[in-house]
Amino acid sequence: MSLFHKPIEQITLDDLKSLMGDIPVMEGQLIDYKRELIRPEQLCGSVTSFANTQGGDLLIGIEEKEGVPCTILGVECTDVDKEKLRLLDIFRNGIEPRLTNIEIEFVQVVESRYVIVVRTKRSWLRPHRVKQNSKFYARQSNGKYELDVQQLRQMFLGSSDFAAKYAVFHNERVLSHVENFDRSPFLLLHFVPVSAFDNPNVVELSGVLNNLRTEPIGTGGENRRINVLGVYSESHEKNSKFQLFRNGMVEHASSRMLRGNETYGSDLYEKLKRVFVFSFQNYRHLGLKEPIYIFLSFYGVNGLVVKDIDGFYASHDVVPFEFDKMIFPEIFIEDTDSVIIPELVRPLMDTLWNAYGFSRCGLHLK
């Protein structure tokens, strides 16, 4: 068995020795052995082959013969942190689109010699190419191979399926909330991991209730419970709802935020920032470390007034919104640990001001 099932930071020298046991673990779809450090182009080729398939481990410092590991040699390294940064820099600059799910661990063999474990999970932004030679790789049971035109086309089409599947899901949810909110104006906010439509059951429901923030947007109270879709909560007035789906998607729906077909941009900004913070905390708790799309939209908002859009100094007439729906630009986040939340929310506020004839948000946003 490969080591891919085991957390990379828990891999020991004994684990590496077990790969050469009575039934050795041969090179294949989930594992690749290298005797020594190889050229950056080759490193990137190996890593992208895992990312474009099912993920896997590259073990540097293990000699193999015909794919069978035979000797743990290790590679010389006097500064582990410096070498890890160097490898990460190679992957950052040598792979396109950039991979964010690479982990590196150094397992000591003897003093100053280590086996370097480079772990790559399946990427949901695939296919990735090696920039230096513009080649795309994948893996099968006998190792790495270059993707041909037909295989590339299928992989690109698989990526485009996400948009089509989300559109169907989104429309179904809109219709549901139109009835739930008795055709009142409402806000709809979705957090969608890129793997959501491929992994229907990534959320383990047992014990999850006590460890998640589930209050719906714009509320302080909640009434949480498990439901057939996953985890659900609603405000006491039932005008704001939260749903965590089993596939990792999160939905906030609220008529409260647009009550009377009015809202304040400043209030919306603060509420969105708060929801973004605890949503990312929830994903970290659930162990979902992958890119996420965020979609915001308003429905039933013909005549919507934003109370703090000041038209006094405007060079045009500022009138209530003239369409039934307002669709905001999607947000794509590669790594939720490195985002600056006000910078994520600011383009949404600019779009709200655009709807009333202004080039950007007129508020001082903190």
Question: What's the distance, Cα to Cα, between the start and end of the chain in Å?
Answer: 51
Cβ–Cβ < 8 Å for 328, 310: no
In a domain, 189, yes or no: yes
Does residue 232 sit in the same domain as residue 321?
yes
**Residues 238 and 312 occupy one common structural domain:** yes
Distance CA 250, CA 243 (A): 6
In a domain, 209, yes or no: yes
Q: In angstroms, what CA-CA distances link 125 with 73, 128, 158, 229, 279?
A: 35, 7, 10, 26, 21
Is 125 in the same domain as 231?
no
Is residue 366 a part of any domain in this protein?
no
- Domain of residue 83, CATH code: 3.30.950.30
Is residue 2 one of the residues assigned to a domain? no
Q: Is residue 361 in some structural domain?
A: no
Same domain, 348 and 303: yes
- Higher-pLDDT residue of 201 and 16 is 16
- pLDDT of the residue at 132: 92
Assess whether 40 and 111 both reside in one domain: yes
Q: How many domains, in total, are found in the chain?
A: 2
Q: Which domain-ending residue is among 147, 168, 202?
A: 147
* 242 shares its domain with 322: yes
User: Are 119 and 162 contained in the same domain?
Assistant: no
DSSP for 75-121 reads EE-S-HHHHHHHHHHHHHHHEESPP--EEEEEEEEETTEEEEEEEEE
143 compared with 86, residue with greater pLDDT: 86
Do 213 and 101 share a structural domain?
no
Closest CA to 255 of 239, 242, 236, 268: 239
46 and 59 in contact (C-beta within 8 Å)? no
pLDDT > 70: what percent of the chain?
Answer: 98
Contact 195, 212 (CB under 8 A): no
List, in order, residues 6 or more apart from 206 with CB less than 8 Å away: none
Q: Could you tell me the residue range of the domain that residue 286 belongs to? A: 157-354
Of the residues 96, 125, 147, the one at which a domain ends: 147
pLDDT score at 1: 67
Specify the pLDDT at position 313.
65
Mean pLDDT of the region 313-327: 85
pLDDT at 93: 94
Q: Which whole number is the average pLDDT over 64-82?
A: 95
Of 152-166, 253-267, 316-330, where does the model show the most confidence? 253-267
CA distance 292 to 334: 7
Residue 362 lies in a domain: no
Inside any domain, residue 336: yes
For residue 204, pLDDT over 70 is answered with yes
pLDDT at 65 over 80: yes
